[in-house]
Amino acid sequence: MLHLDAAADAPLYQQIYDQLKQDILSGALPQGMRLQSIRALARDLRAGKNTVENAYAQLVLEGYVSVLPRSGYRVNVIQRDLHVPEGPAAQGCGKAENREEPAAHLPDYDFHYGNLDAATFPYVVWRKLLFAVMEEARTGRIASDGMHVYGDAHGDLRLRTELAACLYRSRGVRCTADQVVMCSGLQPSIMAVTRLLRREYDEAEQVPQVALEDPAYSGAGRAYECFGFRTVPIPVNGDGIDVAALRASSARVVHIAPSHQFPTGAVMPICRCMEVLNWATEHGAWIVEDDYDSELRYDGRPIPSLQSIDRHGRVIYTGTFSKTLSPGMRMSYMVLPEQLAERFRTVFAGFQCTVPWLEQAVLARFMSEGHWERHLRRICLAKKRKHDVFVGTATRLMGDGVRIHGHNAGLHLLLEVPDGPGEAALVERAAAHGVRVYPASPFWADARRYPGNCLFIGYGMLSEADIAAALERLRQAWFPTAALRG
């Protein structure tokens, strides 16, 4: 039985989503059960259809339910959370014979990074454009070939043209549509890059090596290693990657995030950018610029891309829509230097783009009609409010007890507790107060470089009220005797 509280801080769609998610995880809604239709649930709850639709969309996005043709929404198979300690609650979830056991404990507040708030997706406009593209393809008012043929490996030309123009306006990226390749995420982009560059190493009978920032996003390293590259961790300081250590390595490919380093948030100044570009030019090396959340800056304009100041064609620029539209869409892109763009046409001749044509066609229309820039302005304002609430509240509640790294951009922060009891103890104490936070140590390849007592905080999924409430819980967990600032 769902219950909505109009006086609660959480939006109505969030309340529906939270309660249904709890029922799925507890087993009250078992695998394969069909959910009420949007219309029926809206009628029962006396809520708007859009409210219920947004809640269902988030459940679909996170994999709790699936939409089946003519069958509505059905509950998926949900595996046990591997990060929840073993115990009766975790083991007995959803089993009839264990109904007397409590369901697996879920935190009241979860600072998880990666997923997006469903309210930020432009559902109304996207659905309108989706129907328009389908109708125009059906009636022949636009070419419908893209739906019925295997397309260009680069992706839809209209989208690539729009994207090239947008990247120039927002990031200073200089390219033509022929240099843009649509991909289904960063790791598939890396797969293509390794295929394009591997030939150079094979001809020289060398083991391919790629330098990675340390700390860094571990998914990038796994992708390179999967396709035969040996990864070389290079330390990061306040200005980004250590160029002296990069020069001392034998790597001839480097993967970096200069505009907002992950996870430290460091921004590479122009002098360091020029050092990296000079290294690449001198050694005939390649730079993979990972610009994963460049649009989300809350203090001044976005930092110009490294590609925009590259005069020798050594930068492979990559970006994604996962942080601005939806990670579930699996849509990203890369901009290849001209010589690699020509190589791509040869190496991937006969391949097809891995991003569905329909999503590309809708996004192209979304950009051409001006919705993209309006959407970015709206989500930047929304995320900035959450960012400011986190930074302001953490400073007020915990003062000098914490240090915040990487603020003013993106959807995550590093929260350091310099005099804390240790990373594991901080996580444990937070959990005892109903808040899930995440250790930062796994991002460091060399544990000796890890500063200790750092937590990886993602605030994109929580409301502003929940961020403030969660931080008050963390104050109670970590600084129970501290006096509040005025």
Query: CB count, 10 Å around CB of 26?
Result: 17
Q: Are 304 and 171 in contact (CB under 8 A)?
A: yes
Q: What is the pLDDT of residue 482?
A: 61
Q: What is the pLDDT of residue 404?
A: 92
What residues does 416 pair with on adjacent strands?
Answer: 403, 454
> Same domain for 364 and 446?
no
Q: What is the pLDDT of residue 91?
A: 40
Q: Supply the CATH number for residue 421's domain.
A: 3.90.1150.10
Residue 483 is assigned to a structural domain of this protein:
no
Residue 85 pLDDT level (bands cut at 50, 70, 90)? very low
> Same domain for 429 and 327?
no
Domain boundary among 369, 395, 429: 369
Rounded percentage of the chain residues whose pLDDT exceeds 90: 50
Rounded percentage of the chain residues whose pLDDT exceeds 70: 89
Q: What is the pLDDT of residue 97?
A: 39
Q: What is the pLDDT of residue 211?
A: 97
pLDDT, mean of residues 278-302: 85
Residue 419 is assigned to a structural domain of this protein:
yes
Residue 118 is assigned to a structural domain of this protein:
no
Which residue type sits at 381?
A: L
Q: How many domains does the chain have?
A: 3
Its pTM stands at: 0.75
- Alpha-carbon distance of 412 to 260, in angstroms, equals 11
Show the domain range for 264.
150-369
Q: Supply the CATH number for residue 88's domain.
A: 1.10.10.10
The 8-class DSSP code of residue 72 comes to: E
> Same domain for 452 and 350?
no
Q: Supply the CATH number for residue 330's domain.
A: 3.40.640.10
| 186: CB partners within 8 A, 6+ apart | 219, 220, 223, 290, 292, 318, 320, 332
Residue 136 is assigned to a structural domain of this protein:
no
Query: Is the predicted pLDDT of residue 285 greater than 90, yes or no?
Result: yes
> Same domain for 209 and 344?
yes
> Same domain for 82 and 219?
no
Q: What is the pLDDT of residue 143?
A: 58
> Same domain for 393 and 427?
yes
Domain boundary among 328, 344, 369: 369
Q: What is the pLDDT of residue 307?
A: 95
Q: Of 77-91, 146-160, 358-372, which one has max mean pLDDT?
A: 358-372
* b/e 285-298 (16+ beta carbons within 10 angstroms → b): bbbbbbbbbbbbbb
Instruction: Give 331-364 pLDDT, tens digit per residue.
Output: 999 999 999 999 999 999 989 898 999 999 999 9
Domain boundary among 332, 354, 369: 369
